[in-house]
Structure 1
Amino acid sequence: MSADAMAGPALFIGDDTAYVALVRPQLDPSDPDLVRAAQEAGVSPEDFAGPGNVWALLTEHDGEGDGFELPGLRDTEADGFAEQLQAAVAAAEPFTVEAGDVLHLDGAPAGDGWAFTARVNPPEGHEVAAWTLTTGPVATADLLADLEDFRRTLA
């Protein structure tokens, strides 16, 4: 499917090689690639696209990616996580913010930005054990702008 087929709020923390992302994908049922895929699957494009209201946590580190759905997460909880992260970054002190039991994010100043250590604990039923990943520095101005954009998409 084309990149335009996907929408929805997304918060990526890290860089191209190591990140943790909180996303709520929403597929566009009118995208030609999605229509074709739905036809191949024998379902309507709307059924193929799904409800677009299930959050997921995605990670990548050293070329290894993983992720899982967070079906109980609500937009208000995702916004609360982003709000806590925004306040912690503005305070300019090392911090830990949590997204329920699945993500503990430690932030520490690193030059003109922040380095993060994410402890990821998949929910029951996920076959992979908990893992930890560390990101390179993220510029403070970029991080704050991303957080603001993310929160705006949830408003």
Structure 2
Amino acid sequence: MSPIDVGGPEFFLGTAARYVALARPEIDPAQPGVLLAAEQAGVSPEEFAGSGDTWALMYEADGQGDGFELPGARDIEADDFAEQLQRALAAGEPFTAEAGNFLRLDARPSGDCWLVTAHITPPEGHDDDTARTLDLGALPAADLANDLEAFRRSLA
């Protein structure tokens, strides 16, 4: 279960304390905070909320987190990444999967779990462009498979 709720498609990997999430947030123009921010910006709530088609990568490790937008990323690329993960998990062998140049996952099976390490590289110009490595720990294989399937359905 994801500790974040972005309103749009999201693939969450990890635990509440250590995670990486690939998401396409959707902002509801009717939310009070959005209404207030739009008013302060002098634009309509719909214009402020935007199209809801910008992907982001979010991460957290023991209370320290960040995230960044992925301009130009599309649903098809997120689906390709999820499909790549599904194939790798089904093979049952250690693997590396990459989502662009911003996320690499290294995983190896361990009983009925996968030991997953995420390597995150923020884009140039991000406030903190330091690469991060997050050990996400042992993640149950069945949960990963279910989460990937649900993610791919949310993109359809």
Q: TM-score, length-normalised on structure 1?
A: 0.90
The residue number in structure 2 matching 1:12 is: 12
Counterpart residue identity of residue 139, structure 2: V
The residue number in structure 2 matching 1:125 is: 125
The residue number in structure 1 matching 2:45 is: 45
Number of residue-to-residue matches in the alignment: 152
Aligned-residue offset at 1:67 = 1.1
Instruction: Give the percent of matched residue pairs that are identical in Structure 1 and Structure 2.
Output: 59
Greater RCO, CA 8 A, separation 6+: 1
**Is residue 120–residue 133 contact of structure 2 (8 Å, CA) maintained in 1?**
yes
1:96 aligns with 2:96: yes
Aligned-residue offset at 1:91 = 1.1
Matched residues in 2 for 1:128 and 1:63: separation?
Answer: 18
Mind listing any 5+ residue stretches in structure 2 that lack a counterpart? Answer: none
Q: TM-score, length-normalised on structure 2?
A: 0.89
**Is residue 95–residue 107 contact of structure 2 (8 Å, CA) maintained in 1?**
yes
The residue number in structure 1 matching 2:26 is: 26
Matched residues in 2 for 1:136 and 1:24: separation?
Answer: 25
Matched residues in 2 for 1:63 and 1:33: separation?
Answer: 24
Aligned-residue offset at 1:41 = 3.8
Aligned-residue offset at 1:43 = 2.4
Matched residues in 2 for 1:33 and 1:111: separation?
Answer: 45
Structure 1 runs of 4+ off > 3 angstroms? none
Matched residues in 1 for 2:68 and 2:137: separation?
Answer: 23
Mind listing any 5+ residue stretches in structure 1 that lack a counterpart? Answer: none
Deviations 1:49-99 (A, max 9, x none): 111111011111121101111011111111000000111111111110000
Question: Root-mean-square deviation (CA), in Å?
Answer: 1.7
Matched residues in 2 for 1:42 and 1:57: separation?
Answer: 29
1:110 aligns with 2:133: no
SS of aligned partner of 1:135: strand
Matched residues in 1 for 2:64 and 2:111: separation?
Answer: 27
SS of aligned partner of 1:105: strand
The residue number in structure 2 matching 1:136 is: 137
**Is residue 113–residue 140 contact of structure 2 (8 Å, CA) maintained in 1?**
yes
Aligned-residue offset at 1:141 = 1.2
Aligned-residue offset at 1:40 = 4.1
